Structure 1
Amino acid sequence: MANPVIERLIGIEGCPVVTAENVDEFLALDGMVVLFFTGDPRQRPESNDVAVVLREMSSVFPGQIRVGIVDQAAEESLKPRFGVLVVPTLVYLRQGKFVGLIPRIQDWQVYIEKTRGFLAAA
Structure 2
Amino acid sequence: MSENNILGGLAYLSILFAPFLLPFIIWLLTNRQSAAHDHAKRAFLLHLVPVILTGILLMAALSTGFLAHDTRTVSLLTVTAMAAGGLIDFLFIGYNLYAGLKLLVSSR
Q: Tell me the TM-score normalised to structure 2 length.
A: 0.30
Instruction: Give the structure, 1 or 2, with the largest relative contact order (CA under 8 Å, sep 6 or more).
Output: 2
* Structure showing greater Rg: 2
TM-score normalized with structure 1 length: 0.28
Q: Which is helix-richer, 1 or 2?
A: 2
